[in-house]
Structures are given as structure tokens and as C-alpha cells.
Structure 1
Amino acid sequence: MTTAALEPQAGRRCYTVVNPLHSAVYFAPEHDDELAALGLKRGSMAYFAGRAAPLGAVGAGAVTATFYNFSRDLVARCVPAAWEIASPEAVLAARQRAVDSVLTRLLGAEVVASPEVAEAAGLALRAAEACGREARALYSGNADLPVPEQPHLALWHAATLLREHRGDGHLMALAGAGLDGLEALVTHSATGKGSTPKFSQLSRGWTSEQWSAAQARLRKRGLLDAAGELTKDGVALRGDIEAVTDRLDRAPYEHLGPTGVERLTALAGGFAQAIMAGGGFPKQHFGKG
């Protein structure tokens, strides 16, 4: 473990380019294809099952709590019904097959088999050694899974650990800021850095009335203006949330050290660019659109 000082934003920058390696899988047709082959419905059921499978055959309550910004009504239509169709073990196997197909398509077979992918996997796994389990359900569930032998699958596994570790910490920050799941979603959409309001509302299962009611609550707190944009206080709150998230997520990157973080950022940044260029994320679903 290194004792060298880590530049304040280095961990966030590294996470930002590592995360696409994990999250692109959920936007890829291969993911739904593999889970549909088990009998699961495409879309929300496939997503909830694929991401929650490391937790076991959990119910709607556990998924709603750990995913945070999805409507419980939507979640309850998908789980636990998904586990009556396919076991978590079968879903995990299908998920790994999807990861193999998606990364090979988006990065190319030559890159997948390259020393750089193996190096990135080793660095990301080393960073994940310092992740904490306390109050981090999604991270901890994935941390119980074995590390795949193939480097590109090991890289996805490590990216998942880092993504869910930061995500679990982010939920702590959101709860501490007094934002419920829908309010968190509305304010994040208002930053223009995430999904569009329309995609966020539909994909998370919220009605227009519920979305409007959340906006009204946020306006009452002085966080949104009449046009649905963040006020100065709203921008400050989102900044505070990210700062708390950074602090709660600092350990993996401190453990990896400045040199390792810089190298992982460079490697993952190249992979993330390839994923973006290959259409890994539908552009129409992101921004303020």
C-alpha cells in the first residue's frame, strides 16, 4: 500500500472512465438477449435481475432500497417474479456471457486479448482490495463472486466492484442530503450530466404526476427554479453530494496510489472512448434533451 498523496480529483477521474466498462453492458442488446433466453422479460426485469443477482433471490424491498431511484411499483412488477423464472446463479452465468460478447464487440477481439486489458484488470482489482463492505450491499454482493480468469471478464468484474462501491456511497450521500429516490433523480437530470428527464422518468417507472410533485417539493426547498433548472442552492447541494461521495470512495484509489491511478485512468480512458465510439451508450438518452 502506498503512502504517496493522491490528487483530490484523481479518484473521481479514474472512476469516470472505469465505470463505462461496467455500465455499457446494460445498454447492450446482448444483455437482454442472454436473459430473455432464460425466460425473463426484456427491459426492466432483465436489468433488475442482472444487477441484483449477486444479492441472491431478493424481493422488491431490497432492490428498491439498493437501486434507490426506481419506483417500487416498477420494481415489484419484476422481482421476485424474476427468480421464479431463473435463479440468480443462472442469471449470473448469463450476465457473464453477455459481458464477454459486449466487450468483444465494442473493444474488438484484439484489444480484449491485449496485455493492456490484463494490466487494467490487475490495477482495478488492486484498487478494489481497499473497498469497504459496511453499508455497501451491491458492492458486497459482487465482492463475494469469484474473479473470472479471462482478463477482460476480470476487468469487468473489477469495474463492477468499483462502480457499486462508489454507488453505494453515493446513496449514503443522497440520503444524508435529504433527497428521496425521485428527488435525487430529478436533481441529477437537472445537472444535464445524466439521463434526460424523459428517459429517467420512463426507465425508472415514475409517472408525470410523481415527477411534477417531486419538482414542487424541490422548488419549496429552493433547489429548483420555475423552469425546472437547479438554483444556486441546488447546484451547491449537488456539489456537496459529489464531494461526500468522493470522500467515501477515496480508499480504493489511495490504495492503488498516484502512479497506479494515473495508469488505470489512461488505460480505462482509451477503452471508454472505444465504447462510446462504438455506440455503447445511446446518445438520445443522455443530457438535458
Structure 2
Amino acid sequence: MTSAALEPLAVRRCNGPLNSLHGAHYFSPDLGRELGTLGITHPHAVNLAARSAALGPVGAGAVTAAFYNYKHDLVSRHVPAVWSIAAPADVLAARARAVDATLRRLLGEEAVASAEMAEAAQLALRAAEACGRGARPLYSAHADLAVPDEPHLAFWHAATLLREHRGDGHLAALMSAGLDGLEAMVTHTATGKGLTPKWATTTRGWTQDDWNAATTRLRERGLLDGATGELTERGVALREDIEQATDRLDRAPYEHLGAEGVARLTILGVTFAKAAVVAGAFPRDLLGKG
């Protein structure tokens, strides 16, 4: 299948709902409950441990580098200390139990056991066969994990691979554009599609002063309007350049799957993601300009 067979935005449209399905467990009470049984109770520690456990018992520097938009001070308060509470393998097992419970609760038993779920898992896993490991630490770490047997967990695993593959490439695009982690969040929030300032600061460890300083830097670069806080024409163009670069870096899995498979996976992903959102997977004030 050649790249010309895919529509320009097909990669982005397909990955979006897969990203949502992956991310639902971060906001699920099931994750806190399962990690709590291991002794990990602080919300920041739960989040950091769940996402970084695939990397092994790494230090704060590796996690900050891989996550990019988390403040290092926040990461270092919980990593590597969290690994003295529970081993990464135990965290991964607890995360899998939480994902299972979350998907069953949000989607329902019928959807979890459906032929469409098995089809989505098959398509997503096929796409992930063409993911590349180079300069993609979070994808590579998750690619080393075994594929679960149950279709809904296999689908979630494949969605995670595709999500982290795109995410790792996205960081390269952000660095090439000259945006640090916080500046990337501020500009994404300004599009109306990123985390609200409330969620960006509380979950990533940044203070309001940090946010204001990043805003000032972006205004000085002509990327944010000084009066409205909206993206300028240059800012809008930069964000679209970043997304297009991310699409290019993320194209291989979807070319491998082919246009027909991508279209079908998109339909299935949207169906399951919408059901999760309707069931309350995410806080209502999570996204937007705040």
C-alpha cells in the first residue's frame, strides 16, 4: 500500500480515538484502586508509575525526558521512590486489571465481547507491526510487553502502542519547532484542543508563574497575541506544521494497514471512544481554553 492511498488527515483521524481510549484509564477510579493495593496512593505517583512502568525502574531524568511536558520537580518527588513501593512488573499487572475494569464499566460487557472489538484489536495490532523503535522510548518499552489474550485488552494494548509511537514522534516535532514542554502545552491549550490551564498545571506540576512565564516567551516570539492570548497567525501555522510533521513521522503503521483498514479502524475507534466519553470517562472541564 503506497502513501498516496491514504488521505492527508487519515493518520490523525485514526489515532485520535485510539489516544482517547488509551487515556481513559488515567482518569478512572479503577487505576487508583488497583495501584492503591500496592501502596501507591498519591495521585501523581499513580499517574507517573502507570505510564512509566513499562520503562522499568528508571530514574526521574528518564521519565521527565520521555514525558516531556511534566515538570521535573514533580517527577523527582515520586520517581524513583515509587519503585521502592512496588516493582514495575506489579504496577503493569495492576494497570491491566484497572484497564479491564474501566473498559467493562465504560463500554459494557456486550461491547467488550463483541466481534467489533475483536476486529478492532486485529486491525490495530496489524498497524502496530510497522511501528519503528528508533528514538521512541515509550513505544519501544510497551512493544516489549506481551499482547494480552482478551480482545478488549489486546485492542487497548495496540492502541497504546500506536498512541505512544505517535507521541514519541510528536516530541521530536515539538523540539524541532523550538517549543519546550510547557510552551507546547500553552500553545496546544490556545488551540482549544489541549488540556485546560487547570488540568495542565495540576497534573503536570507547573505553577501559575511557570505558565505565565511561558506565555510571555511565546508572546515575545510572536506566537501568542499579547491582548487576547490567542494564537497569532504564526502560532496557528506553527501548530499545524507540528501536526503535519507528527503525521509524517507516524505514517508507517497506517500505510502498513492500508487505506481500507485505516478507515475501518477509525470507525471502530470512534464508536468505542464516543461510548467511553458518554459514559463519563473524562472530566467535563478537561479540554479547552479554560
TM-score (norm 1): 0.98
Aligned to 1:39, what secondary structure does the other structure show? Answer: coil
Contact 2:64 2:71 survives alignment (8 Å) = yes
Alpha-carbon shift at residue 202 of structure 1 (Å): 1.7
Alpha-carbon shift at residue 197 of structure 1 (Å): 1.2
- Count of residue correspondences: 288
Matches within 5 A, 1:180-219: 180-219=180-219
Gapped regions of structure 2 (runs ≥ 5)? none
Aligned to 2:120, what secondary structure does the other structure show? Answer: helix
Alpha-carbon shift at residue 19 of structure 1 (Å): 1.4
Q: Whole-Å Cα distance in 1 between the matches of residues 74 and 44 of structure 2? A: 8
Q: Which residue of 2 aligns with 1:76?
A: 76
Contact 1:35 1:42 survives alignment (8 Å) = no
Q: Does 1:261 align with 2:236?
A: no
Gapped regions of structure 1 (runs ≥ 5)? none
Alpha-carbon shift at residue 59 of structure 1 (Å): 0.7
Q: Does 1:22 align with 2:22?
A: yes
Contact 1:192 1:287 survives alignment (8 Å) = yes
Deviation per residue, 1:71-117 (Å, 9 max, x gap): 00000011001100000000000000001000000000111011110
Alpha-carbon shift at residue 210 of structure 1 (Å): 1.2
| TM superposition outliers: structure 1 runs of 4+ over 2 Å | none
Contact 2:222 2:234 survives alignment (8 Å) = yes
Contact 2:133 2:139 survives alignment (8 Å) = yes
Alpha-carbon shift at residue 42 of structure 1 (Å): 3.2
Q: Which residue of 2 aligns with 1:285?
A: 286
Deviation per residue, 1:211-249 (Å, 9 max, x gap): 111111111100111232211111110010000000000
The aligned amino acid for 1:72 is H
The aligned amino acid for 1:147 is V
The aligned amino acid for 2:260 is T
Q: Whole-Å Cα distance in 2 between the matches of residues 86 and 62 of structure 1? A: 18
Contact 1:19 1:160 survives alignment (8 Å) = yes
Deviation per residue, 1:33-84 (Å, 9 max, x gap): 1111110123110011000000000111001000000100000011001100
Q: Which residue of 2 aligns with 1:130?
A: 130
Matches within 5 A, 1:1-289: 2-3=1-2, 5-226=5-226, 227-289=228-290
Aligned to 1:198, what secondary structure does the other structure show? Answer: helix
What do you get for the CA RMSD once the two structures are aligned?
0.9
TM-score (norm 2): 0.98
Alpha-carbon shift at residue 28 of structure 1 (Å): 0.6
Worse-superposed segment, 203-212 or 157-166: 203-212
Contact 1:31 1:99 survives alignment (8 Å) = yes
